[in-house]
Structure 1
Amino acid sequence: MTIKTDRHRPEDPRAFEEMLLRSEAKFSTLFNASPLGMTVVDAETGRFLNVNKAVLNATGYTEDEFLSFSYWDITPEKYRDQELQQLIDLKEKGRFSPNRKEYICKDGSLFPISISGVALVDTDGKEIVLGLIEDISERLAHEKELERLALYDTLTNLPNRRLITERIGQAIAKSQRDRSIFAIFVLDLDNFKPVNDNLGHYGGDELLKETALRIKSLLRRGTDSVSRHGGDEFLLLLTDIKTQDEARRIAKSICKALAKPFQIEDEVVTVSASIGIAVYPDHGTDQITLFRNADKALSRVKEEHGNGCKVFGSYY
């Protein structure tokens, strides 16, 4: 394929033909050797006219297979509006800026790419689109890891304070809509410091990870959340509960589960937990008030030597 151009066109037809051949050879070499994915598409039909090895290697298709497709065939339906906007940009601007999408690979997996395109005309007068395709798999993995680090505790892999705060905000909005209630638990391990000192730094970390797993195993999937707030403190969000008594029963079951011995390397470790409970909207209609009242309930449990739970206000 040769890109049509009238710039610096020699008057001698043979010289012009030689120039086109040289241009075609240069383009073909660049096209095939480029580490950047490149495609040529018929602007009218959307069918692929050419594809380089970078795209074939990433998607798993043979050249013949790929050239039997149009760009609609290997693009998931969710990108349909985006594809239509690209066509509008090509018509109005002669190009479209880089945007993210995916190609459907031969094995059914999705290949994440950033694609840009420019409208051209070949030597036969056919309108074509040259697509430039960048593999963004590593970039997305890096972004995902950064997001995980921003939202999850690195030790326990539980949501951190920021993420649980977002979820509590969502729970408040939902409860305001449907008049449901939810509870937050502030959970603290009793006498963790001497246990941590005895186990050492590594053993203490292992105990926290095992504690997180044990708490998580007791929660309802899809409705409840547990986060680590730092140290040996955890925050739990239980949505769609019916009564304060239900919240108290769940808290008691968690305390009972955490009182069972942990096997940390060669040592059997026994701990207990204290839980303070606040229920929306009875004990607050905003996060700050709910946190404060759950923490007050936790303090009352601690004053009574821990290993138990209390709902805010139930001890007055």
Structure 2
Amino acid sequence: MSKYSIYCNGDISEQKRAELLLTGQQRILDMMANDDPLNDILTELALTAERINPGIICSILLLKGNQLFHGAAPSLPQEFTKAINGIHIGSCAGSCGTAAYHNKLVIVEDIATDPLWADFKHIALEHGLASCWSIPIVDARNKVLGTFAIYHRTPATPTHEELKLIDTFSSLASLALGHERTKRKLEESEQRYKSLFKYNTDAVFTLDVNGHFLTANKAAIALSGYSRKELLNMSFTLLVVMEDLGKTLKAFRETLNGSPQNFEMCFQNKQGERIHLNITSVPIVVNENVTGVFCIAKDITDRKLYEEQVHQLAHYDALTHLPNRHLLQERLNQTLSAAKRDRHMSALLYLDLDRFKVINDSLGHDIGDELLREVAGRLLTAVSDTATVSRLGGDEFIILLPKIANQDEAVTVAKDILENMQTPFNIRSYELRITASIGLVFVPQDGATADELIKRADMAMYEAKRAGKNTCCIFAKEMEDHALQPALLENDLHHAIERGQLSLYYQPIIDLVSGEVSGMEALLRWHHPEYGFISPGIFIPLAEETGLIHSIGRWVLRKACLQSKRWQEEGFRPIRMSVNISMKQLQERDFHQHIKSILDESGLEPQFLELEVTESTIMQNEQTVIENLTQIKALGVRISIDDFGTGYSSLSYLKRFDVDTLKIDKSFIHDLPDHHYGHVITTAVISIAHSLNMNVVAEGVEKEEQWKCLESIKCDAAQGYLFSPPSSVETLQPLLETGRWNERET
């Protein structure tokens, strides 16, 4: 035996030690079972070890963070206990600090000479402590909870039996600490459970396996309108409205089967009020058996009402309460599918009031608005309940007849509407007479898409105008052929600038964080004296094909830069002006010189001009285009990629051109936030673009939920009809004066 070993000191036999260990373990386990205080259990543990091996002094320290704190040390001098309380663990922090730091047994035979005690030996020696063996106390995952240490008043080294004793008592200490942690968690869970019932402002209740109320907090009782006595033992299903009963019972059964549920339903309280709830239900499990259901119900009635209001605003015209363009297109798409599937005929009537502008301008907008409401009422009475009467805006209405027997039936409806309009409208003190012009198309033969059908019905309506008004014209292919005949349009387009037929409209770009107007996109419009507004989708390709795009493009750039500078001179905050540039323009060798010349003439600083090009334009990698883009960037002008997602969609490739802004095409935005893949793709594009230091603008934002979704996924800015349609300078004046978009005004 080593000269330092003192295991056999005293007269205690091996049998006696075994008995002391056994009774000590049982006493400690009994204390745990009785939920005695942790300090008492640890103290008894230390004393038991000291009884088994007289002469040793035991210490238990508990680890919190990176410090060891006093747990139990009944035989250590109190001054020493206080001195080491809060010691930081480390690679040279005495026996206990080092054992906890490295998670391994540390044996120091002589504190006076061992380097681990270099910083602490004076404390130990001062209190007559000469050696210290320390082992970490760990949990089932080998995480250090503290240390169990044995001190001697003389230098000593442990025998094999003493090492087993240390290991045994560290395991007992681990068990005690684990028991304390479990007890604390149970107490916290119980307290949270009580708090849920007592303090939760949401309704909290439990149901038995038959769906009867077992318990309910004050919020649940108040929500139901019943007294506690009435509510308890009542079946929850008695409160559920009939239309939601099926899904509620399904959720209840799924919960009883062990699957937590989250669902929305509506119930009717004792007073007859309908209340919408969002319910989270989880099974109550006792001894592995489901004995009931625990529910937390949040009152979402206000949210539901708000959603209904949002739906109303998104799908219905605010003035007439008729379906708007968005809802019309949904129903028209459904009608198209049904017509193709079932091989029946439908019809679309495009109605525009004759001379409405005269009434509106001479008698005022209030009278005009009342007249439009009256017209809407008459249109509803003139058609069947299955028809959709919608207002596109202004004095334009569209009537969708989802199923007709033949073309004559639709013509009869149109004639009835025209006859109905013959009766004067009595608005306040005025007797107003007004007529209408109607364009008629048939589904599906006159168009494969909703947009195509509306456009052709519009053409037919203008034919009715040209035919003298107050009549109906059926669409014929010749109308489209004439309207889109390139030779005729090309000749007119040559003179469009000099005749003042071209104009710029501007659509604001809104910063989604601040709500400020961060930019304007200049959009070219052609108002033809005979055909009215011609779609840019028609005349821009024609201009590119004929080479007119060069002169028209320079005119657009010059006018947009002058307008941007004029707004600055009028005192408005400088914002970026975005102008679309075609491939043809970028192929001009001196195009960047034209940009510089226009900037010099207008006085607009380069950083306030942003040129929009399509991704397919720069992906062609044409040398002239690359050189122009490089020279344009050198001027300080920003580059934006328009309609991103419709071409190659290579973000890394775009970065080669030092692109500043990425505009996500409206096709990705249209179904947000409901369409999962659109949401995922949009989020990914924004994230990658930001990592490449690109600004991201979403196009075609028409609904508030799209705006909220884009805001949540960190999109920088957006534009679309939710904020403003493309508008004239005069119309945009109020928005520029405030400098920010206010959603309450939309």
Regarding TM over 0.5, the answer is yes
TM-score by length of 2: 0.37
Say if 2:352 is the partner of 1:188. Answer: yes
- Percent identity of the aligned residues? 34
* Residues 256, 293 of structure 2: 8 Å contact kept: no
Say which SS state the counterpart of residue 320 (structure 2) adopts.
Answer: coil
- Paired residue for 2:250? 81
- The reply to whether residue 202 of structure 1 matches residue 366 of structure 2 is yes
Amino acid at match of 2:342: D
User: Root-mean-square deviation (CA), in Å?
Assistant: 3.2
The 1:121–1:228 alpha-carbon spacing in structure 2 relative to 1, beyond 3 Å, is: same
The one of 401, 411, 415 aligned to 1:238: 401
Whole-angstrom CA distance in 2 between matches of 1:121 and 1:281: 59
C-alpha separation in 2, matches of 1:167 and 1:9: 71
2:413 corresponds, among 238, 247, 250, to 250
Query: 2:283, 2:35 → 1: CA distance?
Result: 25
Structure 1, 257-266 or 228-237: larger mean CA deviation: 257-266
Cα pair 2:255 2:293 within 8 Å, conserved: no
State the SS of the aligned residue for 1:268.
strand
Indicate conservation of the 8 Å contact 2:255/2:282, yes or no: no
Name the counterpart of 2:319.
155
Give 1:284 shift. 2.7
Structure-2 residue corresponding to 1:178 = 342
Shift of 1:41: 2.4
Q: Which aligned pairs between 1:1-316 and structure 2 lie closer than 5 A?
A: 10-11=35-36, 31-42=197-208, 44-75=209-240, 76-79=244-247, 80-88=249-257, 91=258, 96=260, 98-106=262-270, 110-119=274-283, 127-221=291-385, 223-313=386-476
Conserved? CA contact 2:389–2:400, under 8 Å: yes
Greater displacement, 131-140 / 278-287: 278-287
Query: Is the contact between residue 183 and residue 279 of structure 1 (CA under 8 Å) also seen in structure 2?
Result: yes
TM-score between the two structures when normalised by the length of structure 1: 0.82
* 1:117 to partner: Cα distance: 3.3
Greater Rg by CA: 2
Provide Cα deviations, 1:73-119, integer angstroms capped at 9, x if missing partner: 4444321222222333xx26xxx354212334335654310111345
| Match in the other structure for 2:47 | none
CA distance in 1, matches of 2:285, 2:335: 56
Letter in 2 for 1:84: R
Alpha-carbon separation, structure 1, partners of 2:341 and 2:373: 36
Question: 2:364 aligns to what SS in structure 1?
Answer: helix
Question: Which AA in structure 1 matches 2:297?
Answer: I
Shift of 1:292: 2.7
What corresponds to 2:166 in structure 1? none
Deviates most, 260-269 or 165-174: 260-269
Q: Which amino acid aligns with 2:245?
A: E
| Contact map agreement 2:204 2:296 (CA 8 A) in 1 | yes
Change in Cα spacing, 1:181 to 1:26, as seen in structure 2 (3 Å) is: closer
* Structure-1 separation of matches of 2:291 and 2:354: 73
Equivalent residue letter for 1:141: L
1:54 Cα deviation from its structure 2 partner: 2.0
Shift of 1:40: 2.2
> Which letter does structure 1 place at the counterpart of 2:443?
Y
For 2:295 and 2:376, the matched residues in 1 are separated by 48
1:112 and 1:213 mapped to 2: Cα distance?
Answer: 33
105 and 297 in structure 1: CA distance in 2 versus 1, 3 angstrom threshold: same
Q: Deviations over 1:228-258 (max 9, x none)?
A: 1111101110122111111111101101112
Change (3 A) 1:9 1:219: farther
Q: How far apart are 1:127 and its partner, in Å? A: 4.6
Query: SS state of the match for residue 254, structure 1?
Result: helix
Contact kept in structure 2, 1:248 and 1:310, CA below 8 Å: no
Question: What is the aligned residue count?
Answer: 296
Question: RCO (CA 8 Å, sep 6+): is it higher in 1 or 2?
Answer: 1
